[in-house]
Amino acid sequence: MKRIGVLTSGGDAPGMNAAIRAVVRKAIYHGLEVYGIYQGYQGLISGHIKKMEIGSVGDIIHRGGTILHSARCPEFQSADGQKKGLKQLIEHGIEGVVVIGGDGSYRGAKALTDLGYPCIGVPGTIDNDIVGTEFTIGFDTALNTVIDAVDKIRDTASSHERTFIVEVMGRSAGDLALWAGLAAGAETIVIPEEPIDMEAMKVRLLKGLERGKKHSIIIVAEGVMSGSEFAEKVTEITGIDTRVSVLGHMQRGGSPTAADRMLASRLGAKAVELLLAGKGGRAVGVECNELIDYDITEATSLPHKLDLDIYRLSKELSI
Ligand code: ADP
């Protein structure tokens, strides 16, 4: 293999830049040429592809977002779109591609794999919902952003003795809400993976008020319902007045944490190692702090599982 490509796709995540840097530097270190494919599969189809040098990825390890930009590209879901993308890769002499993104982006990489083209998936999403890896790039940074926001909300919740509902991102996965809820000491965490017992929540909220608790924080994953919908339900069954905070896109931005920079650097380099070894159709990940790689089909066909021990612990600690 002489020439590889790299793209970022789907929702951006802090640490994607560190992953791009690792791919480019590792590849050049091993004598490969690297091409950046801009705007994800959109740029692949339209041929928005440029050669990258060592300096192309200078001064980006600490930056959120992605210098290669990202896009949602419905056209790539069609066989026709995929063929157009493959044609561009062949015309540019690119022999393998590293795809940094979430599960949708992995399905794109799987489609290229099915066409016989070598692709490696690197998990980049704040949702932490990719099957086969314990952590995805961006999750730790987003988690810290949410915790910081909740700590601040707690100050005002406490001063005004209020119940706050905080809506957290994560698409259909509850990881971000759950981990943030546990780490920020939320009283209730509502996630798509577990049914919420409204009656138990009511009892807990009212008991808390009885024993003089000044405030409550309820974290709701966006995959369940919106924060304002949940607030209405809480008021309906408890009579408690609530305030809603939707954290929104701030959760996707910011300088990546040390953990995300490390993960991105290690996984980006691992992806290049696999291509160098002539492997394609693989996804890279981390398990017990060891780097792993596995069939990308596993990541696209199995359902994501959240760590229910953490959910149980959150319940025990929020009595
Ligand atoms: P994420 O990668 O963050 O999960 P999306 O689900 O939006 O984000 O997927 C990103 C892009 O991946 C889509 O815009 C599309 O170009 C591509 N993609 C998603 N699903 C498929 C599919 N089934 N086949 C081919 N490409 C897909």
Could you report the per-residue pLDDT of 15-43, keeping only the tens digit for each?
A: 999 999 999 999 999 999 999 999 999 99
* Sequence-ordered alpha helix ranges (H) in the chain: 16-29, 40-46, 79-91, 103-114, 139-160, 175-184, 198-210, 227-238, 258-276, 296-301, 308-317
User: For residue 178, what are its two tokens?
Assistant: 């759950």
| Pairwise CA distance, residues 196 & 181, whole Å | 15
Report pLDDT for 211. Answer: 86
| Pairwise CA distance, residues 75 & 80, whole Å | 8
If you average pLDDT over residues 271-290, what whole number do you get? 98
Domain that holds residue 103: 3-138+256-301
Considering Cα of 49, then 53, then 55, then 58, what sign does the dihedral take?
positive
Domain-embedded: residue 312? no
Residues 60 and 177 placed together within one structural domain of the fold: no
Residues 115 and 157 placed together within one structural domain of the fold: no
Residue 318 pLDDT > 90:
no
* 20 annotated as belonging to a binding site for a ligand: no
Number of domains, the chain: 2
Residue identified by tokens 């919740």 is 157
The fraction of the chain above a pLDDT of 90, given in percent, is 92
HSE-up (13 A, CA, CB side) for residue 284: 30
Report pLDDT for 220. Answer: 98
Domain-embedded: residue 287? yes
Residues 32 and 98 placed together within one structural domain of the fold: yes
* 249 annotated as belonging to a binding site for a ligand: yes
Residue nearest to ligand 1 atom 8, measured at CA: 10
Residue 214 pLDDT > 80:
no
The CATH number linked to 46 is 3.40.50.450
Between the CA of 84 and the centroid of ligand 1 the distance, in Å, is 16
Domain-embedded: residue 244? yes
Residue nearest to ligand 1 atom 16, measured at CA: 73
Flag whether the pTM goes above 0.95. Answer: yes
**89-113 burial, b if ≥16 CB within 10 A, otherwise e?**
beebebbbbbbbbbbbbbbbbbbbb
Residues 167 and 270 placed together within one structural domain of the fold: no
127 is catalytic: yes
Residues 116 and 173 placed together within one structural domain of the fold: no
The CATH number linked to 163 is 3.40.50.460
Q: Give the H or E element holding residue 31.
A: none
Residue identified by tokens 């840097």 is 21
Confidence of residue 105 (pLDDT cuts 50, 70, 90): very high
Residues 203 and 296 placed together within one structural domain of the fold: no
The mean pLDDT of the chain is: 96
Residues 278 and 186 placed together within one structural domain of the fold: no
Domain-embedded: residue 310? no
Ligand 1 atom index nearest CA of 127: 3
Could you report the per-residue pLDDT of 115-127, keeping only the tens digit for each?
A: 999 999 999 999 9
Q: Which residues line ligand 1 (CB under 6 A)?
A: 9-11, 41, 72-73, 76-77, 101-105, 107-108, 111, 125
Contact 23, 98 (CB under 8 A): yes
* 170 annotated as belonging to a binding site for a ligand: yes
Residue 172 pLDDT > 90:
yes
Domain-embedded: residue 314? no
Domain-embedded: residue 316? no
| Pairwise CA distance, residues 7 & 16, whole Å | 10
Residues 29 and 56 placed together within one structural domain of the fold: yes
Nearest to 10 by CA among 66, 64, 70, 75: 70
Residues 23 and 103 placed together within one structural domain of the fold: yes
Residues 220 and 287 placed together within one structural domain of the fold: no
Domain-embedded: residue 319? no
